[in-house]
Amino acid sequence: MNAVIGLLLALATTTPPRPATKVPIYFHVSAEDSVGAMYVDKLCETLEASSGYRRVMTANDAQFVISIVTMDPNDADLGEGAGQSTVAAVTLQLENTKGLNYMVHSWVLIANRDKVNSLATDLFDAIDKEIRDLH
């Protein structure tokens, strides 16, 4: 009996914890402007570095879909305004293999070139909050 208890204690203390399953996320992106592309890249990097999420290459492999469309609000300008900011429409959707995805939340935002990193981190935090609220 003591041998069995000893064995169970040894197993309990030497068995490595199972890694938590990362939530699969698919990005659907249209970012033709330079600041928008930087913003999306930073958001993807933040997600890939997170402990709770992983990027997948198809929507069918995802639990959630993040759709992002960006544009330079000063695209028609020929002066200093062009290439300095982006306007983005972002949606967080719950993947539905039977048809249209369920929209969970949406954001519309403006990001200046010098604030892309912090704003992408802020958006990731907002997306993370929405996903955690669903669970």
Residue 53 near residue 23 (C-beta atoms within 8 A): yes
Say if residues 57 and 26 touch (Cβ distance below 8 Å): yes
The reported pLDDT for the residue numbered 33 is 93
| Average confidence (pLDDT) per 10 residues, the chain, 135 residues | 54 58 94 94 95 93 95 76 88 84 92 92 96 89
pLDDT at site 98: 73
CATH of domain 22-134: 3.40.50.10070
Domain ranges (residues) in the chain = 22-134
With b for 16 or more beta-carbon neighbours within 10 A and e for fewer, the 43-58 pattern comes to bbebbeeeeebebbee
pTM: 0.79
Determine the pLDDT at residue 81. 65
